Structure 1
Amino acid sequence: MSSRIEIEITSEIDDQQYTWRALGAREPKGTIKKSLLPAKIKIGDEFRVEADFLIDGIEILRVLPKRDERKGQETIEILGSRNENYGVTTQLVKKKRNKKNSRSRKNQKQNTQKTSKDQRPKRDAAKKPRQSRSPQRGKRLKAKRSHRNSVIDNLPDLHKPLAREVLSRGIPNLRKTLNNMELPQGFDVEILQYAEKINKQLKTAEWRDRADAVLKSAKDIDLRDFRSVVAAGGQWANSDELSSIQSQLETSLRERIDFEHQQWLSEIKKAIEDGKSVRALNLSSHPPKPGTPLPENLMGPLVDLANNSLDSDTGSHRWSVVVQAVAFSPIRLKVTPKGIPERISDELVATIKKLSDRIPNISGLFTDSLKQTTD
């Protein structure tokens, strides 16, 4: 689509062309055919033109006629009757009210508001969002945008809007926008190819920003973010410099996981020694490296602690909490309770019924209670 701009003639190249620039600015600039200009022109003349903004530059299509200069604004003077004596005057008088009636109306209004307020249904207390069972290991990643902004700044001025469009909306939305525009045949294909090239540069720069942030805080960053950056490096680390950064990330990740693993084992050991069965069970189900088995020297004491926590002296609510922790721990098939509560609550039955597939040894002790709920 063509646009209208104002230009200034800056120099004459030859008998066929002149150079121009945008009026009052250094850019944009380009060349214009002499055949499009009036017969007598000189350097510094200003024109309004219709132009096409292309990837390779700006093409002037035609010169528009100059606007007629306005000599001045035409105004109409309103004289009026010149009579400043107004024939009618008005004055608002406050209406007097009976104090007794107004007081009774006020009391009646207050009683009505109080009654309607009491009749309003009470809103349920806002439920707290359910927290993830997985413990957070470190602070979340907050990367800067220096490399990404550098890519945009190094592009020509005419291409920067396209880069921002790709960055904010993506290639699919850009394709839809181009389909709705009336463009010459094949023109949208060239734009999309160039946009995909810019998109690849932007994605690589974003990964570089994230990688720099991870390397800067390798000991504190959350392991989930750490792993995601390392995994994405296989796609975006496509140069020698970026491959070197990827190697540093992989080495730092291995060191971090080893450190977290030792800390994980020490926390489980301390929880077992302190008799905190639920904490020890929850920790055992979330190793720093998924799939890491629990060492034998901790598995035995943890099983004994869980068995002792599930006995006849333990209340139903506590039983339910411990059972949930056991169901997601690596020792779920090895736990054998020492007894069942004397009073089995509906909450405990519902918990065991929900997790029965994961804890068959425990659910077998509540066969009668589970049958009653089924019936």
Structure 2
Amino acid sequence: MSHRLEVMLTSRRPDGTWTWRAAGARQPKGVLDAGLLPAGAEVGDVLRVEAEVSVDGIAVRQVLPAKAERPAAARVEHLGGQRFTEGVTGASEPPRPPSERPDGRGGRRKRDSDGRAGGRSQRTHKDRSEQRGGRDRPPRAPRLRPASAHRDAWLATLSTAERPIAERLINEGIRAVRQGLQAESSETEGQTSGRPGETDEEALAVVEGLVTALRAADWRDRAEAARKVSDEVDLRDLRSVVAGIPQQFSDDEARALAEELRRKLAARVDREHSAWIADLGSLVRKERLVTALRVSQRPPKAGTPLPDSLAQSLHEGAGSQLNAATEDDLWVRMLEAAAQSPIRLVLVAHEPPSAPSERLLRAVRRFGERLPALRAQFAQHLEAPEEAEALEAAAGTEEPEEAAAAEAEASVAPAQAPEPAAATDEPPRPEASGEAVEHADAHEEVAEPGGEAEVS
């Protein structure tokens, strides 16, 4: 396929060919024959060429002549009639600055920023958040950023054969190392008829030893970093460091470090749990029940139930906001927050709406399994009318068919005297009931991290 390009000559080779590249760019570039160039061509000239582009590259087939400059088109200048204007003896008015433009003209007026009547005060994002009552989100705790001093020291002690395996463990993990060993073993089995199983076991033993040593070195780096920032680091990182304490210690210093981290974690959890209870009580007193329900889902001390008084206050406050006058949006947010809260089993609405909207019913169906007491209040509205009509229609179609079958049997079979029922010692079997059992499919409740509150 031929293309037209503008190329610039970059150099001349001893064999008589010229190198070129696209004008104003580095690519594409190539080589062309000197016989295609016009006489007097020099390095730096820009030419128009026709080239063919293929898989092998770009081959210049022809150098096109330069475009001739077009002469400027002839124009006719129109000179209009000149008007005589008398001179002005008065001084001209100086231009008015943009800030002093009259009302209704020109650009946008500068707004007053002093908060006077008719003006608009400048408010910061913090002021607006305080006026509308922000979510009172605490600042995020910094994450743990350990160093790699112990890992580097451990890598320095490895042999030349073990270091590549250790580096692959660090970068790709134990699974990638095992897969690599299996691939090497399969290749060896296909090439030779030796016994590679013993070599594989030895290699796996070396890898397991490296994994244990690597975990110990990494834990030592993380533990020393956590000891320095144990009071402000994210609690999840501190817990992960304590959970990763090795069962065997290489020296007494590591054992003392582990005990110190356990004590600091216990003190930190107790301190944050007390602050969590205080914040939750403050939210309940301020009647910010949606936020309180969300905060109650994540206790710092897992498995610890709420105090009875606080659970009772949260239960009463949340139930009082669930009434017929509450908007659907607040209903949905309350149900979503309460579905994971410790009072979910006992939460009931103070006054359920007599005619709930479809949006509210969808929310009740969605979270009803986790809010059994509240779902029972909407039981009469949760029955699907379409399913009931379908069942009635099916029952109506079955009755005529059964009646027709009975009439056909009566007309064909001869009349016979009813035989007496044979006496049997078996007790009569109870008829199967078609009614559904309410609690047959009841699921077993799973304990929440914060514990379930039992409110009388």
TM-score interval (norm. to shorter): 0.5 to 0.7
Q: Which amino acid aligns with 2:232?
A: D
CA contact (8 A) 2:331 2:360 kept: yes
CA contact (8 A) 2:216 2:246 kept: no
Q: CA deviation at 1:236?
A: 6.0
Equivalent residues in 2 for 1:22-41 (5 A)? none
Q: Deviations over 1:300-334 (max 9, x none)?
A: 21111111111111011111111222222112233
Residues 281, 247 of structure 1: alpha-carbon distance in 2 compared, 3 angstrom cutoff: same
Q: Deviations over 1:172-227 (max 9, x none)?
A: 13422431454975444433322322221111101111212221211122222222
Task: Find out whether 1:156 has 2:159 as its counterpart.
Answer: yes
Equivalent residues in 2 for 1:1-375 (5 A)? 90-93=64-67, 138-169=141-172, 170=174, 171-180=177-186, 182=188, 185=196, 186-235=198-247, 237=249, 239-341=251-353, 344-372=356-384, 375=387
Q: CA deviation at 1:234?
A: 4.1
Q: What percentage of aligned pairs have identical amino acids?
A: 28
Q: Give distance in 2, aligned partners of 1:325 and 1:203.
A: 39
Unaligned runs of 5+ in 2: 1-13, 18-33, 41-61, 71-137, 388-456
CA contact (8 A) 2:293 2:341 kept: yes
Q: CA deviation at 1:90?
A: 4.8
Q: Which amino acid aligns with 1:146?
A: A
In our comparison, the structure showing a higher alpha carbon Rg is 2
Q: Which amino acid aligns with 1:152?
A: L
Structure having the larger proportion of residues in helix: 1
SS in 1 for 2:245: helix
- TM-score using structure 2 length: 0.51
Unaligned runs of 5+ in 1: 1-76, 97-134
User: Could you say what the CA RMSD is over the residues aligned between the two structures, in angstroms?
Assistant: 3.4
- Which range moves more in the overlay, 351-360 or 137-146? 137-146
Q: Give distance in 2, aligned partners of 1:195 and 1:218.
A: 33
Residues 220, 89 of structure 1: alpha-carbon distance in 2 compared, 3 angstrom cutoff: closer
- TM-score using structure 1 length: 0.61
CA contact (8 A) 1:281 1:329 kept: yes
- Which range moves more in the overlay, 341-350 or 300-309? 341-350
Q: CA deviation at 1:251?
A: 0.5
Paired residues, what number? Answer: 262
Runs of 4 or more consecutive aligned structure 1 residues displaced over 6 Å after TM superposition: 82-85
